A and B are shown apart, each in its own frame.
Chain A
């Protein structure tokens, strides 16, 4: 498989706090990659560095072999990386459809058609004329996913897509990700919901204190001692998961 997105030795410090320390992560083309780690481990900072919202102090970010380190967010988006945020960031005073059109690179009629298709895809097409600020939290998550899709990015970075939403919506989002992935989209997902990550991702990278402590298929990550120590605390095997339910 070809590596589509790669961070190489990325460092980022806020004052004396090292949010990222020589962080190297790879995302294969057409895969769904997971990024997990305890709070403050640097997951969102890594997203910010990749998408241009934060400048890396050192290291590089590559998209399809092209260096995109420290490019501005609009340039990163234009090159094919779309992202969502942990706390949804929508344009509250615009309608749902207008939110979609902000990111659209197409002309008016084509843009509207594509926007409605994406809204239909995530299941909120019926809300297109409403102000985005009136949507529920779960619907906002779907809107964020939809408007990132409008520009057809090569890689989609999802920051806690299942955070704060009910189980049926979590499944709905997971299904949409699977469909998009089957159509060739590449994902990098930050998520605390382990079932969501382990059930969806081909490869999981674990961050702790800004450093990658493990990376591999979910089956291996579940049982990696370093991971258990750093984050999971215990094995989330099928038996344990059943117990939790």
Chain B
């Protein structure tokens, strides 16, 4: 027993140490890599870390693969832009609109979820795609969204030399907050119920889980984070158009990141985002042919599905376990015993 406790303590200490090193590295990153080109990569990567973590908090934990996360992301972006314009908010005061972006994401998620979460699997995916296109069309056609021109952000009076650094720390805070939220959800009874829904929703209902309520809360939580991060993204990019705010490739990228890293895990989607987003950005910038990154994304998705269908984190964990135990079972098998035997 003490060996097990010692092993667990060592594991906790190692995890704690790794987290401290990561935190120091993340904070020091813009100090070490001062180039705006590099911090631009990091900002985009952190935006996607936050959004994919939020997406995973619903889709990864519940098994309901949503292709409608861009609805909340884009709406959050538009909400900040439209509100800033309507209320004549300028300068750093626009950051006070970020809670509005989160609220808009949450408010949209309620009716969206109430409709979409009544169905499962492929039908759910199709509904999320349909809602996504409805929002994109609305953004193209409504006058208050600026039609195809979109909406521009108010000017931020920040020096060009510190602009990216400031946004780096803002997006880092968003990413950390999203990860902490996902950890808390996963460790909670609510998170357990979500994972039970992923395995067998009907069985979970039969064990007292109010599945619709659990799914809807997770959906709204995920949308809230996406809306907020959409607002940050808009302020960084300083503009939003229908095709960028409601980009069909956005959700496909999220799915790819989560599958690459490990759907339903905490670290998997983070790793996926840190690999895919900078890679995608590099290809888009390096090769002006925008389709190349999309072709490579598709190829990467195929490779993942064929070679690491469970994702990097679960597969690596499995390999490490095998290596450590060298074929022996990690947990000593226990015979099913009667109570008398168990107590004897």
Is there contact, CB below 8 Å, between A73 and B342?
A: no
CB neighbours of A91 from chain B (8 A): 195-196, 199-200, 203-204
CB neighbours of A89 from chain B (8 A): 200, 202-203
With A98-B192, A125-B342 as contacts: A92 and B199 at CB distance below 8 Å:
yes
The chain B residue sitting closest to A135, CB to CB, is: B336
Q: Does B331 contact A (CB under 8 A)?
A: yes
The chain B residue sitting closest to A103, CB to CB, is: B207
CB of A165, distance to nearest CB on chain B (Å): 10
Q: Mark B318-344, 1 if CB is under 8 A from A, else 0.
A: 000000000000010011111101100
Is there contact, CB below 8 Å, between A74 and B205?
A: yes
Is there contact, CB below 8 Å, between B193 and A102?
A: yes
Among B68-76, B101-109, B208-216, the stretch in contact with A = B208-216
Q: Does A130 contact B (CB under 8 A)?
A: yes
Is there contact, CB below 8 Å, between A77 and B337?
A: no
Within 42-60 of A, Cβ neighbours of B (below 8 Å) are at: 51-53
CB neighbours of A52 from chain B (8 A): 206
Q: Does A154 contact B (CB under 8 A)?
A: no
Q: Does A193 contact B (CB under 8 A)?
A: no
Question: How long is the Cα–Cα vector from A55 to B235 in the complex, in angstroms?
Answer: 52
Question: How long is the Cα–Cα vector from A53 to B189 in the complex, in angstroms?
Answer: 24
Is there contact, CB below 8 Å, between B339 and A126?
A: no
CB neighbours of A101 from chain B (8 A): 189, 192
Q: Does A163 contact B (CB under 8 A)?
A: no
Chain A interfacial residues counted at CB < 8 A? 45
CB of B14, distance to nearest CB on chain A (Å): 19
Is there contact, CB below 8 Å, between B342 and A93?
A: no
CB of A61, distance to nearest CB on chain B (Å): 15
CB neighbours of A234 from chain B (8 A): none
Cβ 8 A contact of B337, one of A78, A123, A151: A123
Q: Does B85 contact A (CB under 8 A)?
A: no
CB neighbours of B334 from chain A (8 A): 124, 126-127
**B interface, over-half SS:** helix
Question: How long is the Cα–Cα vector from A77 to B210 in the complex, in angstroms?
Answer: 11
Cβ 8 A contact of B205, one of A72, A124, A169: A72
Question: How long is the Cα–Cα vector from A166 to B319 in the complex, in angstroms?
Answer: 34
Q: How many A-B residue pairs have CB under 8 A?
A: 92
Is there contact, CB below 8 Å, between A83 and B206?
A: yes
Chain B interfacial residues counted at CB < 8 A? 28
Is there contact, CB below 8 Å, between A73 and B205?
A: yes
Q: Does A94 contact B (CB under 8 A)?
A: yes
With A120-B342, A129-B331 as contacts: A74 and B336 at CB distance below 8 Å:
no
With A91-B195, A94-B196 as contacts: A53 and B206 at CB distance below 8 Å:
yes
Within 94-132 of A, Cβ neighbours of B (below 8 Å) are at: 94, 98-99, 101-105, 108, 120-121, 123-127, 129-130
Q: Does A175 contact B (CB under 8 A)?
A: yes
Is there contact, CB below 8 Å, between B199 and A123?
A: no
CB of B340, distance to nearest CB on chain A (Å): 10
Is there contact, CB below 8 Å, between A138 and B336?
A: yes
Is there contact, CB below 8 Å, between B196 and A139?
A: no
Q: Does A187 contact B (CB under 8 A)?
A: no
Is there contact, CB below 8 Å, between B207 and A102?
A: yes
With A93-B199, A103-B208 as contacts: A126 and B337 at CB distance below 8 Å:
yes
CB of B206, distance to nearest CB on chain A (Å): 4
CB neighbours of A126 from chain B (8 A): 334-335, 337, 342
19 A-B Cβ contacts within 8 A? A52-B206, A53-B202, A76-B206, A82-B207, A89-B200, A91-B200, A94-B199, A98-B192, A120-B342, A121-B339, A123-B337, A124-B336, A126-B337, A129-B331, A139-B336, A142-B336, A147-B207, A151-B208, A172-B338
Q: 5 additional contacts, CB 8 Å, given A102-B192, A123-B339?
A: A51-B206, A85-B203, A102-B209, A104-B189, A123-B338
